[in-house]
Amino acid sequence: MTFQVIPIDSANPDAQVIGDAAILIKQGSLVAFPTETVYGLGANGTSADAVQKIYEAKGRPSNNPLILHVSSIEDAKALVTAWPDVAEKLAESFWPGPLTFVLPKKDSVIPEVTGGGPTVAIRIPAHPVALALIKASGVPIAAPSANRSGNISPVSAEHVHNDFGDSVMILDGGKTLGGIESTVIDLTCTPPRLLRPGLVTVKDIEHIIGSIEVSTSSQKNSPLPSPGMLSRHYAPRTKMIFGSMSTVEDAMKEGKSVGFLGFAESKAKKSILMPKDHAAYASKLYDTLHELDREKLDLIIAEPVPETDEWLAVRDRLHRGSATA
Ligand code: TXA
Ligand code: MG
């Protein structure tokens, strides 16, 4: 089957379009849809066959578990055997929103979603299209970012289409605002442990539930350990390294065509001025990397970002994008 990219009003999604997409979900097909973070590649999270299609389409190892997207706290609770106090507090503060909880799964949650493991990742996305699709489908929607495994996550329908063509239905709600993926936090341990930094910062979380565990390496410069995935992830096809203006100049002397993202203009062939605010930077990051990738440059040089807590997620993604293995 081939599909068209379907425009949809992000603020006020058309019920007919949502209804058609929900039918596809219920039938076991894939539907790509916008969330407040990045585009997701959705499937019926209660069907092993449907979920299998996600892994095939993405070329993703099936031991890397998926996030189930639901539209109410009640529906989240129905998937887990424990709902600790910290879950209640975080849900009240951040849902719908870019925070994913890892909790012990009920038997009814299929192992295809959890990579065979005993826990399940869940969030309520804060996007009218995503919420409407989940409600109309009547099932939790399993959805990873809608990119081929290892590529940069999509922040527009065009990015999704570049990776999957007409093979899946794509709901085009314009560019996603958050720009990077949700924060993933493991609530099965005490204190809770950060698994993937994201739009909700450690400080935001600690303000609600007190201290959480953050691996010390991630506070410095290396990416966090995430289950079932390589360090190199969220990466442009073009080689990316960290560097300064002088790194740009040295590379240019060697005859290289260089892209630069930083806080000031450089002499690079393609120089992208990035915002000095962490959230604005995150919102622009993947779109910028997609854009630089299209230029077929020899090298992308990223200026290091501040070492503070609020920049953790951006630092993590830049490090994953520039990792060599
Ligand atoms: O913002 C987002 O989270 C987007 C949108 C579409 O919701 N989704 C997304 O999904 O980024 P994905 O599959 O690209 O990343 C999910 C992350 C992976 O790092 C995965 O390892 C982790 O969540 N994860 C999922 N289930 C888990 C579990 N049971 N235990 C630990 N980590 C888990
Ligand atoms: Mg992903």
pLDDT digits (tens, 9 = 90+) for 13-39: 999 999 999 999 999 999 999 999 999
Question: Where does the pLDDT of residue 196 fall: very low under 50, low under 70, confident under 90, or very high at 90 and above?
Answer: very high
| pLDDT at residue 229 in the model | 46
Return the ligand number nearest the Cα of 112.
1
34, 153 contact by CB (below 8 A): no
Return the ligand number nearest the Cα of 70.
1
Residue 283 in tokens: 């919102």
6, 170 contact by CB (below 8 A): yes
What is the 254 CA–ligand 2 centroid distance (Å)? 34
- What does the alpha-carbon distance between residue 273 and residue 275 come to, in Å, rounded to a whole number? 7
What is the 157 CA–ligand 2 centroid distance (Å)? 15
| pTM exceeding the 0.85 threshold for the entire prediction | yes
Residue 324, by phi and psi: left (phi above 0), alpha (psi -120 to 50) or beta?
A: alpha
| pLDDT at residue 217 in the model | 53
Strand partners for 242: 302
- Residue range 65-86: average pLDDT? 98
Nearest residue (by CA) to ligand 1, atom 10, is 144
What residues does ligand 1 touch, defined as CB less than 6 Å away? 35, 37-38, 40, 64-67, 98, 100, 102, 114, 117, 119-121, 125, 143-145, 181-182, 184, 195-196, 226-229
- What does the alpha-carbon distance between residue 146 and residue 149 come to, in Å, rounded to a whole number? 9
Please identify, by atom number, the ligand 1 atom nearest to the C-alpha of residue 60. 13
Q: What is the mean pLDDT of the chain?
A: 93
Task: Classify 296 as helix, strand or coil.
Answer: coil
Least confident interval from 19-28, 59-68, 127-136:
59-68
Nearest residue (by CA) to ligand 1, atom 12, is 144
Question: Where does the pLDDT of residue 231 fall: very low under 50, low under 70, confident under 90, or very high at 90 and above?
Answer: low
The burial of 231, by beta-carbon neighbours within 10 Å (0-12 exposed, 13-18 middle, 19 or more buried), is given as: middle
